[in-house]
Amino acid sequence: MPKAGDILVVLTYAMVAVVAALGFDRFNLMSTELAWLMGAVVFLIAGQVHSAAARAEERALFEDELHQLKAANLSMLDELQAAQERIDQIADSEATSSAAGLTSATGTMPDAKPDEQLVTELLARLNKSELAPSATPAPQRSRSEATGIVRDALENNRVDLYLQPVVGLPQRRTYFYEGYTRIRESNGAVVAPGDFLAAAEEAGLITDVDNLLLLRCVQIVRRLTKADRRVGVFCNVSINSLADEDFFPAFLDFLRRNSDLAGALIFELPRTAFETRSAVAARNMARLADYGFRFSIDQVSDLSLDLAELQRAGVRFLKVPGVRLVEAAHGGEPIAGREPGALRPEDIAGLFARYGIDLIAEKIESEGTVVEVLDLDIAYAQGHLFGAPRPVREDVITDADNTLRQVG
């Protein structure tokens, strides 16, 4: 109610009180002092009645506005839900179109298969490839010879992608694959990573190797996620590539255009490289994390780690050899800043999980190690016991590449 109206009401109540007091005094109903006292009482009572009525009116007005606001919110939610349904319909339509294109390229419908069956089929096809020549390791060579082999392999497309499963425990269902780079000589012999990675780093070729591995990982991820969105691929990347100001902008732009794969593509770094990374590499890792990409750390020899730093850097997986993990859990050594013996073995995985980090027991080669790892409540495992790394044939890559072009 406007202030002028309030003033008029107050003046009205005051006049009523004065009239009442004069009436009591005029008709000798009470003494003059008592008459004016009663007038004051009438004024106060009238004021209280008015205040109560005003508050009731304001409350009714507030409740009406609240109801209108709730109605508006419900309407907005309905609109958002309708918009989400339209988005889902569009996504389903695109997925159907992509699947149809993949069917025409491969003769199969991956959406109709779980990822286990799809990859079993893929590995069966790989087994028909030239595994015998690639199983023959190349002899040790000098650094200059290794550099020449890397250059020749890049020029002649003899850089291969190998996949190894990472399984969930205890069911041993495949949740991830780790992608490895391997290069072949002209005679088909595979060059060991230790023989070519250092040479590629020194010769400035590692960014070319990483770029090719990334492209092929993206192709495979697109194929695998058609069967199961939960499947991911660990893609090994050099810290030098992440710090390379010439390579990284194009690398980041490619990933930005494929940011829908952020949940399925995990970049893996050795622990030493992560802990000694430059400010430029750290900044570029943060930029990747901004797009939703996650990181994994391997080559971990002990659990004396700064979990808060790992969490800030976007590290979500930590790979530790299964035997070493069991030894650390029962060896009375410091773990993540805790005093020796402060954590029970079965609580270690939970501590890392509180920082958003999943432990992966790697290099598992025996059932006995699996039993010991299960006692630690570790969620994932990797090793030859569950499957050795297998090369992905070029025709499989081509099929996936066709799908990538259709999606893009």
Predicted pLDDT at 352? 96
H or E element in which residue 247 lies = none
Query: Same domain for 242 and 335?
Result: yes
Q: What is the C-alpha separation between 163 and 178, in angstroms, rounded?
A: 5
Predicted pLDDT at 216? 81
Q: How many CB atoms lie within 10 A of CB 4?
A: 8
Looking at 77, 107, 137, the residue that finishes a domain is 107
pLDDT band at residue 49, thresholds of 50, 70 and 90?
low
Q: Average of pLDDT values for 3-26?
A: 64
Instruction: Give, in degrees to the nearest 5, the angle at Cα 144 between 136 and 193.
Output: 40
Alpha-carbon separation of residue 32 from 20, 43, 78, 199 (angstroms) = 12, 17, 69, 114
Predicted pLDDT at 71? 47
Predicted pLDDT at 80? 47
Predicted pLDDT at 385? 94
Least confident of 85-89, 309-313, 371-375: 85-89
Higher pLDDT, 134 or 259: 259
Predicted pLDDT at 160? 83
Query: Same domain for 224 and 96?
Result: no
308 burial (CB, 10 Å; 0-12 / 13-18 / 19+) is: exposed
pLDDT band at residue 15, thresholds of 50, 70 and 90?
confident
Sign of CA pseudo-dihedral 60, 66, 67, 68: positive
Position 24 pLDDT exceeds 80: no
Position 81 pLDDT exceeds 50: no
Least confident of 26-35, 150-159, 242-251, 353-362: 26-35
Least confident of 160-169, 212-221, 280-289, 312-321: 212-221
Token pair of 225 as six digits: 């996620």
Predicted pLDDT at 25? 61
Q: What is the C-alpha separation between 162 and 182, in angstroms, rounded?
A: 7
Place of tokens 């070029």: 394
Query: Same domain for 255 and 321?
Result: yes
The residue range of the domain holding 171 is: 115-407
Query: Same domain for 241 and 334?
Result: yes
Predicted pLDDT at 296? 97
Predicted pLDDT at 397? 54
Q: In Å, how far from its chain's centre is CA 139?
A: 41
Q: What is the CATH number of the domain that holds 349?
A: 3.20.20.450
The dihedrals phi and psi of 87, each to the nearest 5 degrees, come to -65, -45
The total number of structural domains in the chain stands at 2
Alpha-carbon separation of residue 221 from 15, 177, 206, 262 (angstroms) = 86, 9, 22, 10
Predicted pLDDT at 335? 92
The DSSP code for 389 is: -
Q: What is the C-alpha separation between 177 and 182, in angstroms, rounded?
A: 16
Query: Same domain for 192 and 68?
Result: no
Query: 265, 295 in Cβ contact below 8 A?
Result: no
Query: Same domain for 383 and 280?
Result: yes
Least confident of 46-50, 85-89, 197-201, 236-240: 85-89
Position 110 pLDDT exceeds 50: no
Max Cα distance, the chain (Å): 130
Higher pLDDT, 320 or 34: 320
Looking at 107, 135, 152, the residue that finishes a domain is 107
Q: What is the C-alpha separation between 381 and 175, in angstroms, rounded?
A: 10
Query: Same domain for 133 and 93?
Result: no
Query: 135, 193 in Cβ contact below 8 A?
Result: no
Predicted pLDDT at 115? 40
Query: Same domain for 119 and 95?
Result: no
The dihedrals phi and psi of 276, each to the nearest 5 degrees, come to -110, 15
Query: Same domain for 288 and 180?
Result: yes
Looking at 84, 107, 130, the residue that finishes a domain is 107
Residue whose C-alpha is closest to residue 189's, from 224, 141, 122, 118 = 141
Predicted pLDDT at 260? 87
Query: Same domain for 277 and 395?
Result: yes
Higher pLDDT, 79 or 29: 29
Query: Same domain for 198 and 316?
Result: yes
Query: Same domain for 169 and 250?
Result: yes
SS3 243: helix
Predicted pLDDT at 89? 55
pLDDT band at residue 111, thresholds of 50, 70 and 90?
very low
Least confident of 50-54, 186-190, 345-349: 50-54
Strand partners, 265: 233
Position 307 pLDDT exceeds 80: yes
